[in-house]
Structure 1
Amino acid sequence: MASLSITPAQIRAGRGLLKWTQAVLAARAAVSVVTLNMIESDQVAPRTRTLAAIQAALEREGVRFIGDAAEGYGVLLRPAPDAAVRTG
């Protein structure tokens, strides 16, 4: 897992790429839906371990967080290893 500090918008975007509801991400990250909702709507500064759990849950499914304050932030979705085209 990268040490990048992810933004609420990146969490929403990553969840959207996976077509996950807040309930699904909350369960996968072992946080409450209320907590996730507050983080995504930028109503609370999340604890480091909570943010790390959310980031890890998304990254396990192929979401990658990119960017920085100077260049901007974003997300991308890598295909699952079993979906990769094999050659040879």
Structure 2
Amino acid sequence: MARAAIGWGVRDLAKEAGVSPDTIARFERGEELKATTIEAIRSALEAAGVEFIPENGGGAGVRLIKGNI
């Protein structure tokens, strides 16, 4: 969802996170990855303007940081 919100493809996110496209595909399938890999993906998305919303009764989610829309 975060990747789609900023209009990135798998290869775009992989490049920005410094990982392979296969790693992004594994992540999106819910496969287990190293914590450092997950942090690299999250950091790349946050740098692009994605804000992660914690669980608040309605489920966790993402939104774009104001000004990045």
TM value normalised by structure 1: 0.70
Across the two proteins, how many residue pairs are aligned to each other? 67
Letter paired with 1:34: D
Q: How many angstroms apart in 2 are the aligned matches of 1:61 and 1:35?
A: 19
Q: How many angstroms apart in 2 are the aligned matches of 1:61 and 1:20?
A: 10
Structure 1: gaps spanning 5 or more residues:
1-12, 84-88
Structure 2: gaps spanning 5 or more residues:
none
Q: How many angstroms apart in 2 are the aligned matches of 1:39 and 1:60?
A: 19
What is aligned with 1:63?
50
Q: Percent identity?
A: 34
Instruction: Kindly state the Cα deviation for residue 27 of structure 1 after the two structures are TM-superposed.
Output: 0.4
Q: How many angstroms apart in 2 are the aligned matches of 1:60 and 1:67?
A: 18
Give the 4+ runs in structure 1 shifted more than 2 A: none
Q: How many angstroms apart in 2 are the aligned matches of 1:32 and 1:61?
A: 18
Residue 18 of structure 2: which of 6, 13, 30 is its match?
Answer: 30
Instruction: Kindly state the Cα deviation for residue 41 of structure 1 after the two structures are TM-superposed.
Output: 1.1
* CA RMSD between the two structures: 1.5
